[in-house]
């Protein structure tokens, strides 16, 4: 199968995953109050459960073609939440006995992502200041 067709599978899955995330977020936010990001937490946990199931079941059975697995995992789960990929990769490292790598991946992902967010904040502030000058 051509790479262009595989990209279409990923794009279709990603579109549905993104819409699913948005719909769940709207649903949860309309029923909750406060500042705790419960919708994001639910998306991340449910996406991790789904990806764990799809990867284990898809790789250990022949019930889904590689194209359907790609649509559901990289496409849907990737559009729904990339946190599921982080969780899956960490769980695989732990299952494989790679505790040091798993721990390093957790710490690096959280710390570097937070640092990246603050760098993004700073870049946005700098751009806003430059536009006002």
Q: For residues 94-102, give the mean pLDDT.
A: 95
pLDDT score of 12: 98
pLDDT score of 19: 98
Q: For residues 104-132, give the mean pLDDT.
A: 93
Distance CA 63, CA 132 (A): 58
- Please state the domain extents for the chain: 3-81
Q: For residues 49-72, give the mean pLDDT.
A: 90
Q: What pTM was computed for the model? A: 0.79
Burial of 106 (0-12, 13-18, 19+ CB in 10 A): middle
Per-residue pLDDT of 28-48, as tens digits, reads 999 988 878 899 899 999 999
Distance CA 97, CA 91 (A): 10
């Amino acid at each position: 199968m051509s790479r262009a067709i595989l990209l279409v599978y990923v794009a279709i899955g990603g579109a549905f995953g993104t819409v699913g995330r948005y719909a769940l977020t709207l649903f949860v936010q309309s029923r909750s109050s406060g500042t705790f990001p419960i919708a994001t937490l639910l998306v991340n946990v449910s996406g991790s459960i789904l990806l764990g199931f799809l990867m284990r079941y898809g790789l250990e059975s022949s019930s889904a073609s590689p194209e359907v697995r790609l649509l559901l995992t990289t496409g849907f789960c990737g559009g729904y939440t990339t946190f599921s990929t982080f969780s899956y990769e960490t769980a695989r490292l732990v299952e494989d006995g790679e505790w040091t790598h798993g721990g390093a991946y957790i710490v690096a992902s959280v710390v570097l992502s937070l640092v990246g967010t603050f760098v993004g904040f700073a870049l946005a502030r700098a751009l806003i200041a430059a536009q006002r000058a």
